[in-house]
Amino acid sequence: MPSIDVCYSPELLHLYDLKGKAVVAVDILRATSTMVTAFAHGATDIFPVMKLEECQAYAAKGCLIAAERDGVKAEGFDLGNSPFAYMNGNVQGRTIAITTTNGTRAIHLSMEADEIIVGSFLNLQAVANHLQELQLDVLIVCAGWKGKFNLEDTLYAGALVERLQQAFSFENDATLASLYLYQTAKQDLVTFLRQSSHVRRLENLEIHKDIEFCLQHDKFGVLPVWQQDRLVDIGVREVKG
């Protein structure tokens, strides 16, 4: 039986051996939720990049460029980090380069893994199904907030563990704690998270609508995975295939 583990911060990733594992990178508010939404609305590829200048350079290649810093859209970019900005037909058939405070870092630090999957509540079951098929040991890598633990990524980890608990072993405390917290919170995630520091920080930016959107379970069947140098969606193909 493969195992499942949770890493609460990219700052702890050096303690884990990623070789032979499937990593699920998660930044619920909002990088990975937004990437999933972009694929669901027809984006063809996503380049997650670390730096603003690097991201800006993709504009010359015909990409849409997206950037968030400290919760808001960075100056001079086409798109920010709100999923609603990707829903009006503007990303259909387009390649997007995106840089965010926490989420892109979690992806880039996971390159040693056999597979990197982008997780969010929006595509929860698609990720769970894929992991059941893969039969690799799983590490859920929470983006956190500037290296620190955050609740929303932990709750997602707990939700994914709940879906996988019959088919995966988990013998580590981070996985147990994530599951307990999710089971405490799941009846009303929005209210539960309203106390969290990051949610309050984001609510100050008046993006309560974004938060409610990102906490919806199983809205999309997309499955973004890392291939060579970018993220592509293999979800649709799987459903068709």
Binding site for its own copies (CB under 8 A): 8-9, 11-12, 15, 145-151, 154, 171-174, 176-177, 180-181, 184, 195-198, 200
Residue 210's Cα: distance from chain center in Å? 14
For its own copies, give the closer residue by CB, 195 or 228.
195
For its own copies, give the closer residue by CB, 92 or 197.
197
Residues sharing a CB contact under 8 Å with residue 175, sequence separation 6 or more, in sequence order: 4, 5, 6, 157, 161
Distance between CA 14 and CA 3 in Å, rounded? 18
For its own copies, give the closer residue by CB, 51 or 201.
201
Question: CB of residue 169 vs its own copies: minimum separation in angstroms?
Answer: 11
Question: CB of residue 124 vs its own copies: minimum separation in angstroms?
Answer: 20
Question: CB of residue 170 vs its own copies: minimum separation in angstroms?
Answer: 9
Question: CB of residue 12 vs its own copies: minimum separation in angstroms?
Answer: 6
Distance between CA 158 and CA 178 in Å, rounded? 4
Question: CB of residue 188 vs its own copies: minimum separation in angstroms?
Answer: 14
For its own copies, give the closer residue by CB, 197 or 227.
197
Question: CB of residue 68 vs its own copies: minimum separation in angstroms?
Answer: 19
For its own copies, give the closer residue by CB, 51 or 148.
148
Q: Check residue 73 and report its DSSP letter.
A: E
Distance between CA 15 and CA 8 in Å, rounded? 11
In the sheet that holds 64-69, the strands lie side by side as: 4-7, 137-142, 21-26, 115-119, 224-227, 230-233, 45-48, 95-99, 64-69, 72-73
Q: Of 153, 159, 172, 174, which is closest to residue 105 (Cα–Cα)?
A: 153
For its own copies, give the closer residue by CB, 208 or 237.
208
